[in-house]
Amino acid sequence: MILNHIASRLNKDLKERMAGLMSHVIELQEDRWLRKGREEGRLEGTKSLLFSLVVDKVIDVADAARRAGESEEDFTKELEEYIKNQK
């Protein structure tokens, strides 16, 4: 009888601790998702600005690619896709 009481109490404590841990894990994952989303948003905004500057002939493709940290070839492919989607 005493063992049953101890076992039930341990199970309850374990469930509470597991729920607390899971809540903490979910919060950490949400923070990661938010950071990743912000970073992706910044990158997308930077690229959009660079694409606009190239289209408006303010800077050339080589300079924009360098600023984006990409090869000219990769940047040009993305620029073409950007222009296609703007129409």
| Pure H helices in 56-71 | 61-68
pLDDT at position 5: 66
* DSSP 8-state symbol, 82: H
* pTM (two decimals): 0.65
Most confident of 3-17, 20-34, 42-56: 42-56
* DSSP 8-state symbol, 74: H
Structure tokens at 58: 């303010």
Q: Which amino acid is at 85?
A: N
Whole-number Å distance between alpha carbons of 68 and 49: 10
Whole-number Å distance between alpha carbons of 62 and 79: 12
43-75 per-position pLDDT tens digit: 899 999 999 999 999 999 999 999 999 999 999
